[in-house]
């Protein structure tokens, strides 16, 4: 997967699935980990660019930021 800490797409998918399960249980303890994934030059951006979905990443990161900051108030 390139410059990320993930060795393959399944590792990323499994981690995201675990975060989704936490959020569905109203467990927000993973928010900081998710925030880290969306930081510039971090894993999701590093994956998005060579895979041709950088525009989608930027949109998704913007939406995540709105949700993140509304929950942190």
Task: Decide if 5 is inside a domain.
Answer: no
Task: Decide if 43 is inside a domain.
Answer: yes
Q: What is the pLDDT along the chain (73 residues), one digit of tens a residue?
A: 556 888 888 999 999 999 999 999 999 999 999 999 999 888 899 889 989 999 999 999 999 999 999 988 7
Q: pTM of the entire structure?
A: 0.81
CB distance 16 to 31 below 8 Å: no
Task: Decide if 16 is inside a domain.
Answer: no
Task: Decide if 10 is inside a domain.
Answer: no
Q: How far is CA 47 from the centre of its chain?
A: 11
Task: Decide if 51 is inside a domain.
Answer: yes
State the DSSP string of 24-63: HTT-GGGHHHHHHHHSTTSHHHHHHTTTT-HHHHHHHHHH
Domain count, the chain: 1
């Amino acid at each position: 997967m390139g410059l990320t800490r993930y060795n393959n797409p399944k590792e990323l998918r499994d981690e995201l699935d675990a975060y989704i399960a936490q959020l569905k249980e109203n467990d927000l303890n993973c928010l900081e980990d998710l925030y880290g994934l969306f930081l510039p030059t971090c894993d999701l951006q590093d994956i998005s660019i060579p895979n041709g979905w950088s525009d989608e990443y930027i949109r998704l990161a913007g939406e995540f930021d709105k949700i993140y900051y509304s929950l942190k108030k």
